[in-house]
Structure 1
Amino acid sequence: MSKQNILIIMVDQLNGTLFPDGPAEWLYAPNLKKLAKKSVRFENCYTASPLCAPGRASFMSGQLPSISGVYDNAAEFPSDLPTYAHHLRRAGYQTALSGKMHFVGPDQLHGFEERLTTDIYPADFGWTPDYRKPGERIDWWYHNMGSVTGAGVAEISNQMEYDDEVAYEATRKLFDLSRGHDPRPWCLTVSFTHPHDPYVARKKYWDLYEDCEHLLPKVSAMDYDDHDPHSKRIFDANDWRNFDITEDDIRKSRRAYFSNISYLDDKIGEILDTLERTRQEAVILFVSDHGDMLGERGLWFKMTFYEGASRVPMMLHVPGMAPHHETTPVSNIDVCPTLCDLVGISMDEVDPWTQGESLLPLINGQRRVSPVAMEYAAEASYAPLVSLRQDNYKFNRCALDPDQLFDLASDPNELINVIDDPVHADAAEKFKKMANARWDLAQFDEEVRRSQARRWVVYDALRNGNYYPWDYQPLKKASERFMRNHMDLNMVEERQRFPRGE
């Protein structure tokens, strides 16, 4: 199979329920809708873990957090864990990243030959949770509800500045690739931080949703005591008692979130337009790391297996492949083996330990028999949580809590736990057996605690004396850009022009 160019567009915290078959009709997202028409749209795609760093490490490697060791937003991504960037680069690809991937640790490349920007989040161990102190809020980095009460309009923010740069560097890279100086096929990953909170948007996008009919959640906020135990832990971690969330706050937050989808759509449009104008053809993957609850049940952000946080959009365009709508549950950990399968790269050396699976058989009509698995072992948890999604069901388990089983066909809002319902007894027994076979939760918990304890020691130690940050410092070789006296000036303009001689 030919080694096709690959363009991966990743966004952050995009709720997959807004993408039932591409973007919902009422979203102002013309570029994503255009991409959807020529893509396989995966309606029921899930994250491996509903949090940034573990979700992204799993997406890149095809491994769940219990294997990768990336349990939370301050867990080191091991340098010896192959990613799709390693596999592609080993097979002769040039690999580049523009934007966020939330790598923690001194390795800030993980197979990418080039990073065009720094990351938006820190690369050290400072955001490590601590299971030894259940209920303790680490106020200087834990989420709180200020993102909701502070929602509104702004023309610039920390995140806007970042994503403006991500898009600029990505389009600039596509122009550079078109010049053909490097004959290798390429894989460019462009990773934005929107629509991740804070819920702040530019007025031009805010105005698009003035009359939006979707500014309130389908399931209103519940009383604290009516929530399941893990949801209560999320409320506590988010410091909900110190905030008064009004209906106006909810409307503004959701409006800004939808507005930022339109902001992203413009950025993605710039990238796809550049690809087209430079006459380059590529596989195009659009995906998110995890979702956002957006006020459903009173919950915000992520950290839960409920659909809003765990379900993500995923669309795959392959030149020559017929577009269609796929409803079988899949995972974004399937990306790594799918990309390798698409371009004919063998993963035999690591296949016995790879938990993701290629989506090509499913796309070609074969039935998928394995369930989708998810794990969570980060802030707002006091012990690991695990989940299985297959057919119409989702099964959730934590050693601290009662098991949950939801029939999403009859209960899409996950309001009725049918784990003890005789009607669903066969399904409950099936999922319990699958969970027992897959996870040793006591061992999982021990591994998480060991990792946390080690990182707290290392973080404290490295903050004493001279501090050397792991944050990625983008290389800007100014002496190799534009026109310099060590260059053949007769060739500079010709080499940098695309197309040439037209």
Structure 2
Amino acid sequence: MKINFGIILCFLLVANGYSQMKSKKIAKKKPRNIIFILTDDHRYDYMGFTGKVPWLETPNMDKLAAEGAYLPNTFVTTSLCSPSRASILTGQYSHTHTIVDNQAPDPGNLTYFPEYLEKAGYQTSFFGKWHMGDHGDDPQPGFTHWESFPGQGVYYNPTLNINGSRVSYEDSTYITDLLTEHAVDWLDRRDKKKPFFMYLSHKAVHAGFKPARRHKGKYKGKRIDLPITYDQTKTGAYRNLKWPQWVADQRVSWHGVDYMYHENRDIHEMVVDYCETLLGVDESIGTVMDYLKRKGLDESTLVIYMGDNGFSWGEHGLIDKRHFYEESVKVPLLVRCPELFKGGKTPEQMVQNIDIAPTILAEAGIKKPENMPGVSFVPILTGDTRAAVRKEVFYEYYWEYDFPMTPTVFGMRTDTYKYIKYHGIWDRNELYDLTNDPDEMYNLISDPDKQHIARSMSSSIYDWLRQTNGMQIPLKRTVKYRFGDYLHKEEY
């Protein structure tokens, strides 16, 4: 019998191609294990490897960046705890999910992205600070295991709501260590037959900063280089720089460098407390990564580390967050998954917190809901040039009853310019050339040559708000909680 080797060869090629397609299809469907670590008030450049603070040591963050990626242009849509956390969990802007401040309650119609993971067969867990409007600690949808505390929580001797039962810890139990210990214990006890998603949400490094006892005093006497804009509001130079009056007025407020949190503390001492508190978070990352390596999960697990908002240390005479200056709106974003992309990357593309949910859902093989405007940032890490690149980020912050010093803010940032528009205040807006003025010192809002840029960006902000149903400011009843009694609230 005459054998037609050409036909056999074609058959083998087709069969091999089909086999590869099938294996790729199966690999694509395979859900990935994912860990999301969120920290509080951690600004984007306060990590050892950035060199911003020469004496700050964060070996585990450094390693995460070296083996994975550091995305230096990562922004939040609102620089405030509850709105940012809600944007991460829903993939939506603040005016859409309506948790516009730290008091605004969950409207009751939101879907958190872990709910999609749980429905897809993931074993999910949450550890730490929830703090999304209502200050409660009750278990939330989408998590098969739950451990949290009310409101901001405490650094020492916390009480955790563990799956509906409250457990109190004493003997100087440190919250960062406790959450890490419980998180790793859950990883070890989980159902090994199911993919997992773990959300580790630290209280640290929120003010007032309290480091672990082992870290207290490590940086005593250390000082930072004060930013170039530190003294501008004090000297009156802000008038020549055309800054808004409200910025100068804040200098002696709760969020100003001359009366920080209504205390007469030295800024360098407060920064030391901040950095010493951050050391516990860095060790937490190391503990989680060591566990993954011991169990052979470190190559395939997607690990994401992020801050919920940035933090100013003297820039424009301000501390804390809320404003749209770089230090307040930028957050650290470290990503590692050797199976997915090669490490050592520092991509410059802009990313926002509304991209977290789409990214995690994509890696879980789940289609992104239509009400999520964000996109997966994995193509940035894998070098997929076909994916759309974010050309701008939008920002919003709504005036708060408890912190009336900062007005309502709307903003837009591109790679080259930032436009800041204020609402409900008689003051000037701001326009900065980020290429030539990265410190945002020279407000160009009155520059005749920049008027077309200001008009265009202002128009784009209104287009964004209109297209995302944000043209009406979501007003919320003001609720104040008595200190130390999260169950008792008063309306104002």
What is the TM-score when the length of structure 1 is the normalising length? 0.75
CA contact (8 A) 1:174 1:275 kept: no
Which of 81, 90, 105 aligns to 1:76? It is 105
Contact 2:247 2:316 in 1 (8 A): no
Which structure is higher in RCO with an 8 Å CA cutoff and minimum separation 6?
A: 1
**Is 1:209–2:214 an aligned residue pair?**
no
Instruction: Work out which of the residue numbers 174, 187, 195 in structure 2 matches 1:161.
Output: 174
- Find the aligned partners of 2:72 and 2:87 in 1 and give their Cα distance: 20
2: CA distance between counterparts of 1:20 and 1:445? 41
| Cα displacement (A) at 1:360 | 2.7
Residue 351 of structure 2 contacts residue 390 of structure 2 at CA under 8 Å; is this kept in 1? no
Question: Alpha-carbon deviation of 1:279?
Answer: 2.7
* Conserved? CA contact 2:306–2:332, under 8 Å: yes
Supply the distance in 2 between the matched residues of 1:426 and 1:158 (Cα, whole angstroms).
62
Structure number with greater Rg is 2
Q: CA distance change for structure 1 residues 229 and 448 in 2, over 3 Å: closer, same or farther?
A: farther
| Residue of structure 1 aligned with 2:64, choices 21, 30, 35 | 35
Q: C-alpha root-mean-square deviation of aligned residues, in Å? A: 3.3
What residue in structure 2 maps to residue 11 of structure 1? Answer: 39
**Alpha-carbon distance in structure 1 between the residues aligned to 2:177 and 2:322:** 27
- Which secondary structure state, in structure 1, belongs to the residue aligned with residue 103 of structure 2? coil
Give the direction of change, closer, same or farther, for the CA distance of 1:329–1:189 in structure 2 (3 Å limit): same
Q: Which amino acid aligns with 1:265?
A: D
Distance 1:191 1:369, change over 3 A: closer
After TM superposition, the structure 1 stretch with the greater mean CA deviation from structure 2, 110-119 or 251-260, is: 110-119
The whole-number CA distance in structure 2 between the counterparts of 1:14 and 1:94 is: 28
Q: Residue in 1 aligned with 2:296?
A: 279
SS in 2 for 1:194: coil
Tell whether 2:92 aligns with 1:63: yes
User: Deviation of residue 429 (structure 1)?
Assistant: 3.1
> Of residues 323, 342, 357 in structure 2, which corresponds to 1:322?
342
Q: Which of 360, 366, 388 does residue 345 from structure 1 map onto?
A: 366
Identity percentage over the alignment? Answer: 24
Q: Residue 148 of structure 2: SS of its match in structure 1?
A: coil
Equivalent pair of 1:21/1:325 in contact (CA under 8 Å): no
Task: State the alpha-carbon separation in 1 of the partners of residues 283 and 360 from structure 2.
Answer: 26
- Which letter does structure 2 place at the counterpart of 1:398? Y
Q: Could you tell me how far 1:344 is from its partner in structure 2? A: 1.6
Q: Aligned pair 1:307/2:326, yes or no?
A: yes
SS of residue in 1 equivalent to 2:202 = strand
| Aligned counterpart for 2:75 among listed residues 41, 46, 59 | 46
Task: Report how far residue 93 of structure 1 moved.
Answer: 0.8
Instruction: Call closer, same or farther: CA 1:469–1:341 in 2, change over 3 Å.
Output: farther
Normalising to structure 2: TM-score of the pair? 0.76
Partner of 1:115: 146
Number of the residue aligned with 1:358: 376
Distance (Å, rounded) in 2 between the aligned partners of 1:374 and 1:309: 11
What residue is the counterpart of 2:244 in the other structure? 228
Q: Which amino acid aligns with 1:332?
A: N
CA contact (8 A) 1:48 1:55 kept: yes
Partner AA of 2:460 in structure 1: M
Query: Contact conserved, 1:216 with 1:251, CA < 8 A, in 2?
Result: no
Out of 175, 193, 206, the position equivalent to 1:196 is 206
Indicate how the Cα distance of structure 1 residues 160 and 285 shifts in structure 2: closer, same or farther if over 3 A, else same: farther
> How far apart are the structure 1 equivalents of 2:224 and 2:208?
19
CA gap 1:274/1:374 in 2 versus in 1, 3 angstroms: same
One-letter code of the match for 1:438?
A: W
Structure 2 counterparts to residues 53-452 of structure 1, below 5 A: 53-105=82-134, 108-121=139-152, 161-177=174-190, 181-202=191-212, 204-210=214-220, 212=222, 214=224, 216-223=226-233, 226=238, 228-231=244-247, 234-235=250-251, 238=254, 249-281=266-298, 282-320=301-339, 321-323=341-343, 324-347=345-368, 350-351=369-370, 353-363=371-381, 364-365=384-385, 366-379=387-400, 380-381=403-404, 384-399=408-423, 400=425, 401-439=427-465, 447-449=473-475, 451-452=476-477
Q: Deviations over 1:277-326 (max 9, x none)?
A: 23334100000000111222321111111111111010111232123111
1:75–1:120 Cα change, 3 Å: closer
Using a 3 Å threshold, how does the CA distance of structure 1 residues 158 and 223 change in structure 2: closer, same or farther?
A: farther
Question: For residue 196 of structure 2, what is the amino acid of its counterpart?
Answer: W
How big is the shift at 1:269?
Answer: 1.2
CA distance in 1, matches of 2:289, 2:488: 35
Distance 2:214 2:268 in 1: 17
Shift of 1:371: 1.4
- Consecutive unaligned residues in structure 2, runs of 5 or more: 1-27, 154-168
Does the aligned pair in 1 maintain the 2:42–2:307 contact within 8 Å?
Answer: yes
Equivalences, count? 419
Secondary structure of the 1:96 match is strand
Q: CA deviation at 1:239?
A: 7.6
Aligned partner of 2:342: which letter? A
State the secondary structure of the residue aligned to 1:117. Answer: strand
The separation in 2 between residues aligned to 1:221 and 1:76, in whole angstroms, is: 38
Is the contact between residue 354 and residue 372 of structure 2 (CA under 8 Å) also seen in structure 1? Answer: no
Task: Answer whether contact 2:124 2:196 (CA < 8 A) is retained.
Answer: yes
Q: Secondary structure at the match of 1:16?
A: coil
1:7-64 per-residue CA deviation (whole Å, 9 max, x = no partner) reads 1111100111335976758330111111111222111101111110011101111111
Contact 1:372/1:389, CA 8 A, preserved across alignment: yes
Q: Partners in 2 of 1:21 and 1:411 — Cα distance? A: 24
Q: Tell me the secondary structure at the aligned position of residue 313 of structure 2.
A: coil
Distance 2:150 2:227 in 1: 32
Distance (Å, rounded) in 1 between the aligned partners of 2:391 and 2:91: 15
- Cα distance change, pair 409–242 in 1 and its aligned pair in 2 (3 A): closer
